[in-house]
Amino acid sequence: MASLIDRVSRKAREECVPLGLHLDLTWRCNERCIHCYLDHDDAAELSLDEIRGLLNQCADAGVFFLTLSGGEIFLRRDLRAIVAHARERGFDIKLKTNAILITEADTAWIRDYGVHRVQISIYSHRAETHDAITKVPGSLARSLAAIRMLRDSGVHVAIACVLMRPNFRDFSGVRTLAAELGAEFTIDPTITPHLNGDRSILGLNIGRDELASLFRDETLVGDAAAFCAPPPPVDADVLDGVPCSAGHTSCYISPHGDVYPCVQFPLSCGNVRQTPFMEIWRHSARLREVRAIRARDLSICSSCGHVGTCSRCPGLAFMEGSMYGPSAADCEKTFIRTGIPTGNMRRNAEGRSQPAGPLVQIGLAGSQHRTQRGFE
Amino acid sequence: MRNAYPVRAPNLASRVLNGEAIIMNPADSTLFTLNETATVIWLAADGTRTLREIVETEVCTQFEVDPETAILEAEEFAASLAGHSILRFAAGTKGQE
């Protein structure tokens, strides 16, 4: 299956087809998670008619994998109509939600529309921890009730656990809970800077020792020795490689119609209210620039021995200063994983100026397009 | 099977990229890709024409192929997809052979 997806992705890249779309339907939310990177204003969300039109354009453009996310998508009263239209247009549909508004009636249409997977955020198996993160008393109980309803309706559920300091010790409990509920389980120890530029939430990131313990947990990474092995020599193929799928075969659209290469790559490339999606996708100068970048073009990473295996997220690099530069957060991850400093770290140790922002984030799998076993 | 009326299973995700279909069955997360000929059959499988009619009116007119060879391969293809529950045969057909 993986090789088939790789083949489809390669073909999409060759044809410049946006195979995957992450569409945020709203930034409004009924939880106030302490690590959230969004503003929860509801200004000028795309209307149902606009979303239907956008989905039509995206289907015609070749989008296949559609993730509907937010904010909390069930705050949109027209969600069912949106999903119905997405089904009509043949998308592979994934929903991301906290699930606390899902009713039994919802589970029926989610199943009947053939939604592939519903991903639900669970931060702890203990209510006091989960509810403290969401800032909504009773939220864990409501999310778990929804998971059981979905499961009983035959809907595939994935539990996503963002790991941070307050809940790090609970991830194994969440994993056990997921197994009991028949749900998939993923963890993500990446905290993203707030879209308004506030980086204070990065202080929630887990520490080096904690991240190192994850990297050596074979239930998460498979063969830990292989996962943490030094990188192989860099060759021409590596230097001709592209950083990730962002802007190549996938993109993100905000609730207000702004198009970005990825949800973690806030480089505005156009707005679907002013310009048809396909025109943005094909002709945006910024997207074309993103697509043109090869590993050999990266200002510091191109000479780093880790360049072929590092999980460098171009979006995080962009947020740290330059999409051609290193992501200090990913340098840190690579160092913790392999024990070998990156080129950027050596450069900084030699006293040369760091082109990016402060080293404040520790994380793993910086983009949804860099899925590793057990992580998202 | 050549006189049966194939119809795509409901609620599948599918897209055609450069003439070749990709199909996801959300029930079991199985991904399929079809070549151009199979994609023509897949797109035509709406339950209104028999497999034989689809081959004669779509496949044989778009591809240089021997009709009998085409129908045999189409039967094999349809049986394979039916085995994965992504293709069905509409009720009231001339018979599933």
DSSP string, chain B: -TTS-EEEPTT-EEEEETTEEEEEETTTTEEEE--HHHHHHHHH-BSSS-HHHHIIIIIHHHS---HHHHHHHHHHHHHHHHHTTSEEE-TT-S---
Residue of chain B minimizing CA distance to A13 = B17
Please tell me if residue A2 touches chain B, with a CB cutoff of 8 Å: no
Please tell me if residue A62 touches chain B, with a CB cutoff of 8 Å: yes
Q: Return the residue in A64, A93, A119 with the most chain B beta carbons within 10 A, the one to mutate for interface testing.
A: A64
Strand, helix or coil for residue A246: strand
Below-70 pLDDT ranges, chain B? 91-97
Domain containing B38: what range? 5-86
Residue numbers in A near B18 (CB within 8 A): 11, 15
Q: pLDDT tens digits, residue range B13-41?
A: 999 998 999 999 998 999 999 999 999 99
Please tell me if residue A115 touches chain B, with a CB cutoff of 8 Å: yes
pLDDT digits (tens), chain A, 376 positions: 457 888 889 889 999 999 999 999 999 999 999 999 998 877 799 999 999 999 999 999 999 999 999 999 999 999 999 999 999 999 999 999 999 999 999 999 999 999 999 999 999 999 999 999 999 999 999 999 999 999 999 999 999 999 999 999 999 999 999 999 999 999 999 898 888 878 899 999 999 999 999 999 999 999 999 999 999 999 999 999 988 899 999 999 999 999 999 999 999 999 999 999 999 999 999 999 999 999 999 999 999 999 999 999 999 999 889 999 999 989 999 999 999 999 999 999 887 654 444 333 322 333 333 333 333 3
d(CA B81, CA B44): 14
pLDDT at residue number A7: 86
Size of interface A-B (CB pairs under 8 A): 55
- DSSP assignment string, A254-310: -TT-BEESBTTB-----BTTTS-HHHHHHH-HHHHHHHH--GGG-TTGGGSTTTTT-
d(CA A250, CA A16): 10
Q: Which residues in B56-69 are b (16+ Cβ under 10 Å) and which e? A: eebbeeeeeeeeee
Residue numbers in B near A93 (CB within 8 A): 13, 26
Q: A223 burial class (0-12, 13-18, 19+ CB within 10 angstroms)?
A: exposed
Please tell me if residue B15 touches chain A, with a CB cutoff of 8 Å: yes
Q: Is residue B96 part of a domain?
A: no
Q: Is residue B91 part of a domain?
A: no
Residue of chain A minimizing CA distance to B10 = A114
- Tell me how crowded residue A197 is: count the other CB atoms within 10 A of its CB: 8
Residue A142 and residue A166 in contact, taking contact as beta carbons nearer than 8 Å:
no
The answer to whether the Cα torsion of A158, A364, A292, A284 is positive or negative is positive
Residue numbers in A near B20 (CB within 8 A): 11
CATH number for the domain including B70? 3.90.930
Q: Which residues contact A229 (CB under 8 A, 6 or more apart)?
A: A338
Q: A352 burial class (0-12, 13-18, 19+ CB within 10 angstroms)?
A: exposed
Q: Which residue has the tokens 């539990």?
A: A159
In single-letter form, the type of residue at position A324 comes to Y
Residue of chain B minimizing CA distance to A84 = B11
The residue among A4, A33, A65, A7 whose CA lies nearest residue A188 is: A33
Residue numbers in B near A116 (CB within 8 A): 13, 24, 26, 29
pLDDT at residue number B91: 62
Q: Is residue B93 part of a domain?
A: no
Q: Is residue B92 part of a domain?
A: no
Residue numbers in A near B22 (CB within 8 A): 8, 64
Strand, helix or coil for residue A152: helix
Q: Measured between CA atoms, how close is B5 to chain A, in angstroms?
A: 22
In single-letter form, the type of residue at position A95 comes to L
* Interface contact flag, A116 B31, Cβ < 8 Å: no
Report ipTM (2 d.p.). Answer: 0.86
Angle of helix A104-112 versus helix A139-153 axis, rounded to 10 = 40
Phi-psi label, residue A74: left if phi above 0, alpha if psi -120 to 50, beta otherwise? alpha
* Interface contact flag, A64 B11, Cβ < 8 Å: no
* Interface contact flag, A117 B10, Cβ < 8 Å: no
Residue B23 and residue A4 in contact, taking contact as beta carbons nearer than 8 Å:
no
Q: Is residue B22 part of a domain?
A: yes
Q: Is residue B32 part of a domain?
A: yes
Omega before residue A241 within 30° of 0, cis:
no
Residue of chain B minimizing CA distance to A12 = B17
| Angstrom distances, CA of residue A47 to CA of A53, A77, A171 | 10, 11, 38
User: Domain tally for chain B?
Assistant: 1
pLDDT at residue number A282: 96
- B-facing residues of A in 118-177 (CB < 8 A) are 156
Q: Return the residue in A9, A63, A109, A116 with the most chain B beta carbons within 10 A, the one to mutate for interface testing.
A: A116
Nearest to B17 among A1, A17, A112 (CB): A17
pLDDT at residue number A368: 33
